[in-house]
Structure 1
Amino acid sequence: MMERMPQLIIFLGVFLLALESVGADFKSVFVFGDSQFDAGNNRYLKKCLLQANFTPYGSSFFPRPTGRFTNGRTVADFIAQYLGIEFQKPYQEVYRELENDPQMSFPSNGVNFASAGSGLLPNTNQEAGVTSIQVQLQQFQSMVFNNLLNNHKRLHRTQIQNSLFFVVSGGNDIFSYFLPQLGIKPTTRRYVLSMLKQVVHFTTKIYLYGGRRIVLFSLGPISCIPGRVLIPFVSSSKCHVKMRNMADQYNAGLKRFVNIIPTLYPGAIGVYAAVYDTSKKFFEDPKLHGFSNTTHACCGNGPLNGMLQCGTKDYKLCKNPNEYIFWDFFHPSERTYELIAKAFWNGDEDEIWPMNLKTLAGHK
């Protein structure tokens, strides 16, 4: 018996180490929102008018366009790499795979529900056939309560509780507010409050479904995007002041909400990812961050390359997308996304609060 003791100790040590690594490697992300995180959901929607499933989208990283609205990876993709897991597949892709293979399990690394063009308000860009964040929530719910395709599978509650939940939305709502439209507009304050109410509703539902690590991304420099020239009478030489003020109102309200998440939802952790504050540094000192152009889109046409979507007829393409903050009329370049992702992964509290994603992912 004594002769077998060393082997037994080694076996128990390996067994315990294996148990420990199972918990440590339980890494999963569920992604909701708009084109900043859309990994290709819209390309499966035949009636959706907002697409990026053509060249040169994705050309800096992927062998072919994936439906991402940038030249490569998004923030969600970079965070997946930092976690050491595969990119989250679009929900629409997962749905079709499950339809074709009833024996297939739900992805252990999470799912991406984001749809380009969607907003916090259910009517934002609905005429374009996008998937609202309310419907995205319903899609997640169907995976929680095993009524997706009636295949009697459900997401394991342990996976949900240990997952990160990313929510990035609101930019399309605010941009739409400044477009010409019929009828009387609500005040900016009332409009922003209606957006924040949707955030609270969404977070409440995620919590009830088991989510405990919720990351809410602020609005970025939407007032400075090249696509602002699509709004009548807007200057191409300076950012849109009223849009900036409205975004500031929303961001301030979002941060206040994150601050009370532990009180409203016992056991939950809320994180505020300060996209605007983080990216502001790129505009203030572009050379330090490797940028030579902070105003124009790398790909597009017209003033600021913001009048025409990248990849459509007569578009122009810059030589080095990494030197541009903006890839197209609305979206950052992969380089910008990478810098933002690094800041959120291991940055300090002026970038992500009250903890960075590396800390959040390892939180017990």
Structure 2
Amino acid sequence: MYILSERSSLRHLVCVVFMETSSWFLLFSFLVFIGDVAVSTSVSVPSQVRAMFVFGDSLLDPGNNNNLFTAAKANYYPHGIDFSQGTTGRFCNGGTIADHLSTLVGLGILPAFNNPNTKGTNVLRGANFASSASGLLNDTGVNYGDRFPMDAQLEGLTEKILPEMARNIGDGTTMEEYLAKSLVYSNMGSNDFITNYLVLTSYEPTLYTLPEYHNHLIDVYIRQLKELYNLGVKKFLISGLAPLGCTPSRIAGSPNYSESNPKCADDINQIAIQFSAKVKTMVHKLNKELVGAYFLYWDLYTDMIEVLNRSAYYGFKHVYTACCGAGRLNSIILCLPNVPFVCPNRSEYMFWDPFHPSDAVNAIIAKKAYSGKLQNMYPMNVQQLLQL
């Protein structure tokens, strides 16, 4: 396993029929339910969900960066102020999207792969490999210090977690059989823009135009996902990007900021939309090419925008103001160790800190992926996938 640092740059589905051809499973037909009703969540969690493996950045990080030499970690109070396990290294007052989703599928909160206590039968539920400041590219986030980029997260799976799982399965099940009944959730790519391509000191713009950079990232992503498929994983949830231009930090830092009418940064959001469209196309391509594989695309951008636009419906009174922090939108002074700038009514805030959603938002968003409308889940939602 390797760590990179600045010192070493480097939509109600009524019927789904799959027909097997010589090389892939084709989505044959489905009927679309017209309206706003979500898929029922009354179906119990299927027994075939053996484990879940999470790959991502600070949106999902459970504390994998805690012991690294990096500025990208949250192993201090008030992070985790509402979390059952306390302060763990999550950039949230409570649980991440991954925590809520893994709980919905019946696995509980997954252990951080880089925690020394992640061993024994505990790994049979899977693990969370997400690392703050990381990206698809190995040099993304280098200015923050050490982190686990996607390649290193995959290495953590193959070198640490899978061998430990193999030692503890104990029922005659092969690793390939175990992985075939497991789920991969990946949310990657945000930092490849906000801490890489869009940074003034980045050399990537000298190598690629923005459309070329999108394609480069997708090529890398395909290789990485195929590595997981070749290990035996068959079920994947792949998320598009969130609305990166709607964070308190991005809005507060805008030269056109208006206190009476804060607006998202459309230029940044357009980048997220464009890359997410590429990710959806990638998912369609992989479903065609990889025999027996089921890839889901989650339109996280649209789900997040819907919550932002209907914030009052969801119970939020503070849409673009961070709960933890100070200054304009509580986003000029960051959520630092033991700061007194923490809101008391955290369930009313959409954002926990200047960059990350609150536990309340994460719970809503995770449920949308699990059992939500199929406009934003292609070709089905997670609940339906796990019944196949």
Going from structure 1 to structure 2, the CA distance change for 1:25 and 1:210 (only over 3 Å counts) comes to closer
Q: By how many angstroms is 1:242 displaced? A: 1.8
Name the structure 2 match of 1:55. 77
Aligned residues: 334
CA contact (8 A) 2:49 2:386 kept: no
Q: In 2, Cα distance between the equivalents of 1:153 and 1:251?
A: 38
2:231 maps to which of 201, 209, 221? 209
Name the structure 1 match of 2:213. 191
**2:233 is aligned with what amino acid?**
G
Q: By how many angstroms is 1:314 displaced? A: 5.2
2:318 maps to which of 293, 296, 304? 293
CA contact (8 A) 1:294 1:325 kept: yes
1:71 maps to which of 76, 93, 100? 93
Matched, 1:159 2:178: yes
Percent identity of paired positions between Structure 1 and Structure 2: 29
2:248 maps to which of 226, 231, 244? 226
2:126 maps to which of 107, 110, 128? 110
Query: In the TM superposition, what whole-angstrom CA distance separates every residue of 1:302-359 from its partner, at most 9, and x where no partner exists?
Result: 2222223213475622221211111111100011001101111111212222111111
CA contact (8 A) 1:53 1:65 kept: yes
Name the structure 2 match of 1:348. 373
Q: By how many angstroms is 1:81 displaced? A: 1.8
Q: By how many angstroms is 1:182 displaced? A: 5.7
CA contact (8 A) 1:229 1:303 kept: no
Q: In 2, Cα distance between the equivalents of 1:59 and 1:144?
A: 29
Q: In 2, Cα distance between the equivalents of 1:145 and 1:345?
A: 25
Matched, 1:323 2:328: no
Matched, 1:43 2:66: yes
Structure 1 residue ranges without an equivalent (≥5): 1-20, 99-103
Q: In 2, Cα distance between the equivalents of 1:342 and 1:58?
A: 21
Q: In 1, Cα distance between the equivalents of 2:118 and 2:295?
A: 32
Name the structure 1 match of 2:136. 120
Matched, 1:138 2:169: no
**1:120 is aligned with what amino acid?**
L
Query: In the TM superposition, what whole-angstrom CA distance separates every residue of 1:116-145 from its partner, at most 9, and x where no partner exists?
Result: 110112111124211111110111122477
Name the structure 1 match of 2:222. 200
Query: In the TM superposition, what whole-angstrom CA distance separates every residue of 1:61-87 from its partner, at most 9, and x where no partner exists?
Result: 325201111110111111222222221
CA contact (8 A) 1:36 1:69 kept: yes
Q: By how many angstroms is 1:248 displaced? A: 1.0
Larger radius of gyration: 1
**2:180 is aligned with what amino acid?**
Q
Q: Which structure is higher in RCO with an 8 Å CA cutoff and minimum separation 6?
A: 2
Name the structure 2 match of 1:6. none
**1:87 is aligned with what amino acid?**
I
Name the structure 2 match of 1:15. none
**2:181 is aligned with what amino acid?**
N
Name the structure 2 match of 1:24. 47
Going from structure 1 to structure 2, the CA distance change for 1:113 and 1:314 (only over 3 Å counts) comes to closer
Query: In the TM superposition, what whole-angstrom CA distance separates every residue of 1:8-29 from its partner, at most 9, and x where no partner exists?
Result: xxxxxxxxxxxxx9x8254310
CA contact (8 A) 1:34 1:116 kept: yes
**2:222 is aligned with what amino acid?**
V
**Aligned to 1:271, what secondary structure does the other structure show?**
strand
Scaled by the length of structure 2, the TM-score of the pair is 0.79
**Aligned to 1:272, what secondary structure does the other structure show?**
strand
The farther-off stretch of 65-74 and 305-314 is: 305-314
Name the structure 2 match of 1:284. 309
Going from structure 1 to structure 2, the CA distance change for 1:50 and 1:230 (only over 3 Å counts) comes to farther
Name the structure 2 match of 1:7. none
1:178 maps to which of 194, 198, 208? 198
Q: In 2, Cα distance between the equivalents of 1:36 and 1:79?
A: 13
Going from structure 1 to structure 2, the CA distance change for 1:234 and 1:108 (only over 3 Å counts) comes to farther
**1:181 is aligned with what amino acid?**
T
Q: In 1, Cα distance between the equivalents of 2:302 and 2:340?
A: 31
Q: In 2, Cα distance between the equivalents of 1:97 and 1:293?
A: 37
1:34 maps to which of 57, 66, 83? 57
Q: By how many angstroms is 1:262 displaced? A: 1.9
Q: In 2, Cα distance between the equivalents of 1:271 and 1:182?
A: 32
**2:320 is aligned with what amino acid?**
T
- For residues 76-95 of structure 1, the aligned pairs below 5 Å read 76-93=98-115, 95=116
**1:40 is aligned with what amino acid?**
G
Name the structure 1 match of 2:383. 358
Q: In 2, Cα distance between the equivalents of 1:73 and 1:144?
A: 22
Q: In 1, Cα distance between the equivalents of 2:289 and 2:160?
A: 25
Name the structure 1 match of 2:33. none
CA contact (8 A) 1:27 1:83 kept: no
